[in-house]
Every structure is written in C-alpha cells, then in structure tokens.
Structure 1
C-alpha cells in the first residue's frame, strides 16, 4: 500500500507516492540548533544506549555480555539477544521511541533493535532530501523525506533490514527485528547489559552487521546459577567496515 507524502512547514508537497510508508511533516525546527525536537530526542536516546526487555519479575537477574572479535578486541554495534527457557515471553518492549534519524548525512543509530511488530519513526534532520530504501527479505520499502519530514513503518517480520540512501550511497544502517524478549546493542566497549531476566537458563546470541554471509553467529546457553557472572561471546571473522564520511558536496535534489 502506498502513502502520499506531505510537505514540512513552508515546503512544497513531494508529489509522489511512497511505497509502504506513512510520511508526514515533522515538528518545526529548533531556533537554536535548526533541528526538530524529535531529532534531539533520538540523539539523547541513542547516546544513552539501547536495551529492550519485558517487565522484570521479583527474582530478576542482570547479565552483562561482552562481544569481541577473534583477537579479543571489543566489538561495537553488535546485537545481543537473550531467550529464557520455559514459557515463551513476548518480544521485548522498547523503553523509548524507535527512531532512525538522518543527521549529517548519516543514519543514527547505525544499528537499531526493533521488537517484532514495532513501529520505527524515520526522521530527516538534514538540510537535504534523503531517499531511504531497503530491499531486504524482512522488509522492502522506499520513500523520500524532505528536510523536517518524518515517516513511520511497522515491522512484523523478524530479520535484518539493511537501509541505504539512493542519494547518498555512503549512508548505511541496519534494523534488527527480533522476537527475543531481551535485546541490547553493544557500545564501544563491546558490552551489552540485559536487565530483568527471569531466574532460568537463557540462550544468549550475538549478531553484528559485518558478519560474513553464511557465518554462524555465536550462541551460548547460560544456566540460571551463572546469570550474574560476566559472559563473553566471540564473533567469527568480520568483513571490513565500509562506512565512509559524509558526501563533501552535500547536494540535494
């Protein structure tokens, strides 16, 4: 189903149908920063880290997982999921809005965990248009966002959704849509903290965008008695990081 894009304040309508997206004008720009309130919320949320989880039981436990490469170096932007044994729990609930911003010709964040059935808000905080797209099996869509515009899309199928921009080829990001009841993204120190796990054995797994095609992500079962102890997962060999700096021409259309 297509949705017609609407323009931001003082801007002409896009005049095109956008596939699979609901696109609307974003809030007005901040007089000091030139960016909308939603963009500031996204940056504040992302800088604080992301962890998704269900409501914690009284005897809940916390688990800190460190993700490293083959040389033992910490790996950032890895998704760590935990699935307890026993009755199935619902997908993790986000603790803040799910926002994929476009800022300085960069997707922010690089990796965003999305619980199955969750809705992501795409925000253009730049001064140029972006043509966001994905041809991934888990979700195929594309849409154009003018400055200040936002779009929303619901993700019902689990899997990795690779994002790109048809205008700025260097822009890359990933949505990790999961049904796991607990999930978090590692920081620069390679650590992800999962809180509120029930007192039961859990299966912990890690994924990172630079895993080679066909590589098996690391997975380990942690007994209930060991939940408080730190855990390290080692990734198989990774592909080079192909991300580049922003387009110096910063052109739009």
Structure 2
C-alpha cells in the first residue's frame, strides 16, 4: 500500500510531441528551403542577442529568426557605407549612413516580419522574423523541420494544430500563412511562391553612374 500511495503522489509529466514537417512547392513538389514554421504555445521564448552583418553589399544572414524582445546588431563589414532601415509595422527603424558598428543594437519588441533595406544599395534585402513562441524552426535544403510541441490542452482540438508558415517568396511576404495539420503523423504542406527574382548586377545603379562620369 505505501508503495502504491507513493506512486500515486508522484507528478505525471506529459511528454512534448515531436512533429516532423515537410514544406514543398505547389505544382512541382520540390522542397522549399528557408521557410519559417512555428506553432503558438503557452510558453514564451527568452530574448536573445544576434547580428546581421553587411558584406559584399548583402545582409548575412538574409533571414534571421529571433525571439520577441531580442537585440540585433548590424555591423558593416564592407568598405563602403550602408544606411539600414525598415518601414515594417513590427519594427520601424533607421540607421543612417555608417561604417563599422552602429552605436546601439535594434530591439525587436513586437512579433512579426520585419523587412530590411539599404537606402544606398537598392538590391539589398533582408528579413527579421520576430517570434513569440519557442516552437519555431526553419526548413533545411530538403524542406524539412521538426518542431517540439507542448502537450495538448483540454480546449485544443484533439490531433489538430495550426502551423504558421512564412517564406520571403510568398505572394504577401509581410505575414505568415496559417495551415491546419494533424499531429498524429508527419505533416506535409505545399506553398505557392512567386518566382525567384533574377540576380542583380554586382554594381548598383548609383555606382554604375559614378563609373560613367
């Protein structure tokens, strides 16, 4: 009897569910790399620190996923100045023409998709995806990612969950799309994406004009 009582008094911990997800291109079935996939959770992520540096007139990485509240630095490693900005509702900011490291990092205090640009080099484009859930990941070259999900709540639909998926080539890349999937088997999602933009010349238009003077 004492052993039974001891067993009954021990807390029972629900085990998180590992959900494999594959994202493919609609119409071709080709894997889609770089898709950000997330699931809303009760737990919230811990803010972090990160950086997006500029090199060869490009943002590295082009897509950065950070928890809400994170600080991101934007060091310039080019031999030319940059002017980094964003007009996105999730974070509007402006780092005027600079070389080296800006005076302070940018704090991304609201969830959402933040598109980055450079006021000097129009071809530069980057994204910060600010997430308010720890259950987030980015698909690899095979279009695959595995998310660790919380145990379901009594109010949840049994075996169903809503995935939020974002990719820079979505027709509207200012926000993720939501797809409902079952958690009883690996999930497969097909995305409709706009064609990839042609590669830009190694010189932006402003510098080309200078060379022609």
In structure 1, C-alpha distance between the alignment counterparts of 2:124 and 2:86, rounded to whole Å? 12
Would the aligned equivalents of 2:167 and 2:176 in 1 still touch at CA under 8 Å?
Answer: no
1:73 aligns with 2:30: yes
Aligned length: 184
1:62 aligns with 2:18: yes
Cα offsets for 1:57-87 (capped at 9, x unmatched): 7723322211111021111221100124xxx
Partner of residue 69, structure 2 = 117
Partner of residue 89, structure 1 = 43
Q: 1:234 aligns with which of 190, 205, 211?
A: 190
Question: Any unmatched runs of 5+ in structure 1?
Answer: 1-56
Question: Any unmatched runs of 5+ in structure 2?
Answer: 1-12, 153-158, 208-213
Q: 2:133 aligns with which of 161, 180, 187?
A: 180
1:108 aligns with 2:60: yes
Partner of residue 151, structure 2 = 199
In structure 1, C-alpha distance between the alignment counterparts of 2:145 and 2:63, rounded to whole Å? 13
Q: 2:100 aligns with which of 148, 158, 169?
A: 148
Q: 1:127 aligns with which of 60, 79, 91?
A: 79
Question: Aligned to 1:98, what secondary structure does the other structure show?
Answer: strand
Quickly say closer, same or farther: Cα 1:216–1:107, change in 2 above 3 A: closer
Partner of residue 210, structure 2 = none
TM-score of the aligned structures, taking structure 2 as reference length: 0.74
Cα offsets for 1:144-188 (capped at 9, x unmatched): 364431441111222211101111111101111222231112222
TM-score of the aligned structures, taking structure 1 as reference length: 0.63
1:171 aligns with 2:124: yes
Partner of residue 213, structure 1 = 172
Question: Aligned to 2:52, what secondary structure does the other structure show?
Answer: strand
